[in-house]
């Protein structure tokens, strides 16, 4: 049963969080619009699409992404204010243990954590698709890929020099198929290759084709050739943020498919998959740290607590970036990479909790 103290702190927690979230998102929208307004006007983006397709989903995405950090600052802000106004001293002097004081914080943190989990796994992938489709149509330049190489099922390897999405043309296309003994049994190269959108049909121009038929070879040169491969241009050229538009199941299947063809960006996609759960759980850790460092009245008032909070946030983000780089460039496990910052700061939270004012 919630007591008056619980309701008071939960109300303070949630109201401060949503107020700060609103202010930060409003400022973010202003800065983003000042940067993109020229493109929106030039490409005649409808006002309704700008606000409902882009900025509504913009708020959902970035608000949720930085929610743990905003929660941390919110906790420090209103808890330090309570300490400055001597609201916490009577609570402690009443004989209530610190964990009893912490209980409403954890209830509010659980509410926000569950919202974030639902957003990450169910709502945001659909919202991101709308936002990125708008972004591609009215702002972002086309997709360019250079020096591509990948392997596909059936012992097929593909490489090309460049791809430009505006023209939907691959330059210097090469495909090679080998047998079980790693011997080349088919090879084709073309000056350009074009995938017919929505199909696995391809058009090769100025091509050279070599087929190995036992001890014999067949070599064909031609101007244009219609053919079918077991892949599409979408399998080879996609944006780095393609994982953002997939739900949990879709992303797992996508990662499995990318592993089968030997893609290079697997750690990036796995980081996205595991971070969708690790970041919401960071809410608990940052809440405990925030309460522990700000529940004691300090000289300098709220300002010194905010400064400490920003310092901790900086270290947390720095740790996350180090882990991300380790996963992408060094081969460190992406699952461990996203959870290690939580483990490290979980230990810090426990130490601060033990030495918090009782």
Please give the angle made by the CA atoms of 346, 86 and 292, to the nearest 5 degrees. Answer: 5
pLDDT of residue 169: 86
Name the nearest CA neighbour of 272 among 252, 298, 296, 292: 252
pLDDT of residue 2: 65
Q: Are 100 and 220 in contact (CB under 8 A)?
A: no
Angle between helices 266-294 and 67-84 (to 10 degrees): 0
Question: What is the average per-residue pLDDT within 95-120?
Answer: 88
Q: Are 9 and 105 in contact (CB under 8 A)?
A: yes
234 burial level (CB within 10 Å; 0-12, 13-18, 19+): exposed
Name the nearest CA neighbour of 82 among 291, 238, 231, 233: 291
Which distant-in-sequence residues (6+ apart) come within 8 Å of 197 by Cβ? 168, 233
Distance of CA 349 to the CA centre of its chain: 25
pLDDT of residue 140: 61
Q: What is the DSSP string of 38-81?
A: HHHHHTT--HHIIIIIIIHHHHHHHHHHTHHHHHHHHHHHHHHH
Q: Are 223 and 205 in contact (CB under 8 A)?
A: yes
Phi-psi region of 170 (alpha: psi -120 to 50; beta: other; left: phi over 0): beta
Residue 342 structure tokens: 């939580």
pLDDT tens readout for residues 167-218 = 778 899 999 998 888 888 889 999 999 988 878 889 999 999 988 877 788 8
Question: What is the average per-residue pLDDT within 266-289?
Answer: 89
pLDDT band at 38 (very low <50, low <70, confident <90, very high): confident
Residue 141 in this model has a pLDDT that exceeds 70: no
Q: Are 279 and 64 in contact (CB under 8 A)?
A: no
Residue 151 in this model has a pLDDT that exceeds 80: no
pLDDT tens readout for residues 208-224 = 998 887 778 888 888 99
pLDDT band at 1 (very low <50, low <70, confident <90, very high): low
pLDDT band at 117 (very low <50, low <70, confident <90, very high): very high
Residue 25 in this model has a pLDDT that exceeds 70: yes
Distant-in-sequence contacts of 155-162, Cβ < 8 A, 24+ apart: 155/179, 155/180, 156/229, 156/230, 158/231, 158/236, 160/193
Residue 20 in this model has a pLDDT that exceeds 90: yes
Residue 132 in this model has a pLDDT that exceeds 70: yes
Give me the residue spans of the domains in the chain: 4-139+266-354, 144-236
Residue 303 structure tokens: 């300002």
Spatial separation of the C-alpha atoms in residues 182 and 178, rounded to whole Å = 5
**What percent of the chain lies above the pLDDT cut of 90?**
20
pLDDT of residue 302: 65
Q: Are 292 and 356 in contact (CB under 8 A)?
A: yes
Angle between helices 67-84 and 56-65 (to 10 degrees): 70
- Residue ranges of the alpha helices (H) in 295-333? 302-325
pLDDT of residue 189: 92
Spatial separation of the C-alpha atoms in residues 7 and 208, rounded to whole Å = 75
pLDDT of residue 96: 72
């Amino acid at each position: 049963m919630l007591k008056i103290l619980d309701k008071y702190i939960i109300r303070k927690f949630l109201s401060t969080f949503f107020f700060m979230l609103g202010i930060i998102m409003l400022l973010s929208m202003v800065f983003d619009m000042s940067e993109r307004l020229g493109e929106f006007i030039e490409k005649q983006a409808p006002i309704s699409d700008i606000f409902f397709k882009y900025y509504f989903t913009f708020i959902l995405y970035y608000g949720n992404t930085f929610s743990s950090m905003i929660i941390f600052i919110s906790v420090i802000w209103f808890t330090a204010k309570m300490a400055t106004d001597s609201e916490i001293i009577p609570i402690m002097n009443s004989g209530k243990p610190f964990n009893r004081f912490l209980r409403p914080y954890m209830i509010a943190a659980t509410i926000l954590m569950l919202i974030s989990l639902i957003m990450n796994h169910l709502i945001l992938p659909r919202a991101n698709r709308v936002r990125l489709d708008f972004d591609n149509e009215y702002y972002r330049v086309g997709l360019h890929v250079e020096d591509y190489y990948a392997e596909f099922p059936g012992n097929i390897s593909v490489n090309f020099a460049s791809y430009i999405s505006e023209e939907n043309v691959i330059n210097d296309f090469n495909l090679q198929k080998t047998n079980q003994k790693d011997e080349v049994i088919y090879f084709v190269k073309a000056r350009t290759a074009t995938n017919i959108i929505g199909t696995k049909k391809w058009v090769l121009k100025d091509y050279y084709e070599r087929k190995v038929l036992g001890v014999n070879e067949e070599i064909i040169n031609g101007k244009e050739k219609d053919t079918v491969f077991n892949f599409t241009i979408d399998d080879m050229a996609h944006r780095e943020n393609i994982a953002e538009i997939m739900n949990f199941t879709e992303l797992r299947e996508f990662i499995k498919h990318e592993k089968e063809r030997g893609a290079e960006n697997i750690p990036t996609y796995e980081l996205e998959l595991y971070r969708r759960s690790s970041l919401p759980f960071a809410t608990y850790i940052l809440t405990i740290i925030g309460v522990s460092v700000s529940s004691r009245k300090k000289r300098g008032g709220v300002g010194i607590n905010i400064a400490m909070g920003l310092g901790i946030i900086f270290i947390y983000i720095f740790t996350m970036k180090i882990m991300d780089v380790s996963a992408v460039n060094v081969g460190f496990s992406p699952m461990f990479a996203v959870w290690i910052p939580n483990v490290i700061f979980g230990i810090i939270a426990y130490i601060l909790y033990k030495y918090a004012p009782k």
